[in-house]
């Protein structure tokens, strides 16, 4: 009996390896050559992925090496979309085929074709149309859908645009007078994981080290370093509503800008050309070659742009450009009971209190900050820079009690790290507070629809990631 049990356990352990070897042996010589240039490894909750070469080649590497994670991300996204809209994911893909696909450039299409081929080689079925809709999912579900939902699914809740806390500083603000950038992503805890650090070496253009989610050719969470010396992040412009179906999708413009821009003005120029209003962000960009920082607030009709060599910019989901704020958002900017306003006030406090002291260590503390400027005390919640909406019975007006949303990461880069194409990242939350999905669902059964979608986020350390890492 014991021998049978032992044999069974060995079979269970080795079957996946046998299957993986069988799939690998079925690859063509060209595909094996492509994969020999790529690598995947994991540390501190992150997946590090290096891809390189022609568009289809690097796409194949991406799809093949992240196939299980892409499959899971598509499943989660499809189920979340269905719950929120009562519409099938296939329907949204069909809409994307008409709205998004015709506007995507050839290089980005080829890379996504490569992802689909890589998935197929790894035993996962998808399609180019699905991959396009997936990459455009933020602008489709949060920007296009609100323009049509009342005619199709009138009782669907208004989609919640993602939020983040970010700053960039230079000159007299920092200890060495050079650029420091920090960012964390606030997201629904049942969304697909965005725990991929991707090192891209394209055949043409600049090398990119960025945070992203499996299957994205852009960042999505938007934190990046390039070999041109550019660093960047963004925070969503809250309550933004215009959308132009005729424009170029944001994900394609973001990837092209990051891959090909040599300076801030070039990057912003690519982002502005063909702007569709989708995923409207305040972009915080720095150039370590000139020590300049900039904020590009990209509305639809209105654009705000500032650039300086001394000072700071902050992002907390409130438009600073009055034209964008008044004409293109439904945001009120003085009610400190709201998360975005409270965090905006906190950023200004921190910048004033720490002028001349800011470095990477302090940036990590900023992103982990728990001071609530509405309650005027230290308490983690929806109004703190490191957000924990799920802890609060009353986050802010219009927000469900104990909403399953939080800061899901933290990232920091300074000029020295950027020159080495590296950054610091923390997966889970910037403060390191763990999240237990099972306990959360037991305590808040009103969210039981998230069962099987929401994931644990155990405490992880701040970790250095560098372009060119090997296993």
Per residue in 284-307, pLDDT (tens digit) is 999 999 999 999 999 999 999 999
Flag whether 83 is in a domain.
Answer: no
Q: For 161-176, what is the mean pLDDT? A: 93
- From residue 367, alpha-carbon distances to 115, 387, 404 in Å are 33, 9, 19
pLDDT at 180 over 80: yes
The proportion of the chain whose per-residue pLDDT surpasses 90, expressed as a percent, equals: 90
Flag whether 440 is in a domain.
Answer: yes
pLDDT value of position 18:
43
Decide the pairing of beta strands 46-53 and 196-202. parallel
pTM flag (> 0.75): yes
Sorting pLDDT into bands at 50, 70 and 90, what band is 269? Answer: very high
Query: What is the H or E stretch that residue 236 is in?
Result: strand 230-236
Q: For 313-319, what is the mean pLDDT? A: 97
Query: What is the H or E stretch that residue 323 is in?
Result: helix 322-327
pLDDT value of position 19:
47
Flag whether 15 is in a domain.
Answer: no
Q: For 197-223, what is the mean pLDDT? A: 98
Flag whether 99 is in a domain.
Answer: no
CATH of the domain at 401: 3.60.60.30
pLDDT in tens, 407-449: 999 999 999 999 999 999 999 999 999 999 999 999 999 999 9
Number of H helices, E strands in the chain: 16, 18
Flag whether 129 is in a domain.
Answer: no
Count of structural domains, the chain: 1
Determine the 3-state secondary structure of 187 from DSSP. Answer: strand
Query: What is the H or E stretch that residue 366 is in?
Result: helix 360-367
- Of 136, 96, 118, 113, nearest to 49 by C-alpha is 118
- Of 355, 308, 295, nearest to 174 by C-alpha is 355
Residues forming a β-bridge with 306: 295
Q: For 354-381, what is the mean pLDDT? A: 98
Sorting pLDDT into bands at 50, 70 and 90, what band is 167? Answer: very high
- Of 291, 346, 294, nearest to 317 by C-alpha is 346
Measure the CA–CA gap between 104 and 183, rounded to whole angstroms: 28
Flag whether 47 is in a domain.
Answer: no
pLDDT value of position 184:
98
Q: Please state, rounded to an integer, the average pLDDT across all residues of the chain.
A: 94
pLDDT value of position 404:
96
Flag whether 303 is in a domain.
Answer: yes
Flag whether 152 is in a domain.
Answer: no
Measure the CA–CA gap between 145 and 155, rounded to whole angstroms: 13
Measure the CA–CA gap between 252 and 191, rounded to whole angstroms: 21
Sorting pLDDT into bands at 50, 70 and 90, what band is 8? Answer: low
Q: For 59-69, what is the mean pLDDT? A: 98
Q: For 180-189, what is the mean pLDDT? A: 97
Domain extent, residue 314, equals 163-193+231-242+280-466
């Amino acid at each position: 009996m014991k021998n049978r049990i032992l044999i069974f356990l060995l079979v269970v352990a080795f079957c996946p390896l046998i299957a993986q070897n069988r799939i690998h042996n079925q690859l063509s010589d060209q595909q094996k050559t492509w994969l020999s240039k790529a690598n995947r490894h994991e540390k501190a909750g992150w997946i590090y992925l290096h891809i390189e070469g022609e568009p289809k080649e690097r796409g194949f590497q991406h799809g093949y090496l992240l196939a299980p994670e892409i499959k899971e991300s598509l499943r989660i996204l499809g189920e979340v979309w269905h719950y929120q809209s009562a519409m099938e994911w296939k329907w949204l893909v069909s809409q994307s085929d008409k709205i998004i696909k015709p506007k995507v450039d050839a290089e980005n299409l080829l890379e996504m074709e490569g992802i689909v081929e890589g998935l197929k080689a790894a035993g996962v079925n998808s399609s180019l149309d699905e991959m396009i809709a997936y990459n455009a999912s933020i602008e489709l579900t949060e920007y296009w859908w609100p323009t049509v939902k009342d005619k199709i699914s009138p009782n669907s809740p208004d989609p919640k645009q993602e939020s983040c806390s970010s700053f960039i500083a230079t000159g007299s603000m920092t200890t060495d007078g050079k650029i420091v950038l920090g960012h964390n992503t606030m997201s629904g805890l049942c969304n697909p994981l965005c725990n991929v650090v991707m090192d891209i070496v394209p055949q043409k253009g600049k090398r990119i080290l960025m945070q992203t989610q499996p299957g994205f050719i852009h960042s999505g969470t938007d934190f990046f370093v390039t070999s041109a010396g550019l660093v960047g992040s963004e925070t969503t412009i809250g309550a933004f509503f215009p959308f132009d179906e005729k424009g170029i999708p944001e994900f394609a413009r973001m990837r092209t800008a990051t891959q090909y821009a040599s300076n801030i003005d070039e990057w912003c120029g690519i982002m502005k050309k063909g702007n569709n209003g989708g995923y409207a962000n305040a972009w915080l960009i720095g150039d370590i070659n000139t020590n300049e920082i900039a904020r590009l607030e990209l509305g639809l009709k209105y654009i705000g742009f500032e650039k300086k060599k001394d000072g700071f910019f902050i992002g907390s989901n409130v438009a600073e450009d009055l034209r964008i704020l008044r004409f293109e958002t439904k945001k009120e900017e003085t009610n400190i009971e709201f998360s975005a306003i409270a965090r905006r006030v906190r950023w200004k406090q921190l910048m004033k209190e720490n002028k001349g002291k800011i470095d990477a260590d302090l940036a990590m503390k900023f992103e982990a900050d728990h001071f609530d400027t509405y309650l005027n005390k230290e308490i983690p919640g929806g109004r703190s820079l490191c957000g924990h909406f799920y802890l609060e019975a009353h986050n802010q007006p219009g927000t469900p009690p104990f909403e399953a949303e939080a800061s899901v990461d933290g990232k920091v880069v300074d000029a020295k790290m950027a020159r080495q194409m590296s950054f610091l990242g923390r997966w889970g939350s910037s403060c390191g507070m763990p999240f237990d999905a099972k306990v959360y669902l037991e305590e808040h059964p009103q969210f039981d629809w998230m069962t099987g979608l929401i994931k644990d986020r155990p405490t992880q350390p701040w970790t250095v990631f560098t372009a060119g890492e090997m296993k």
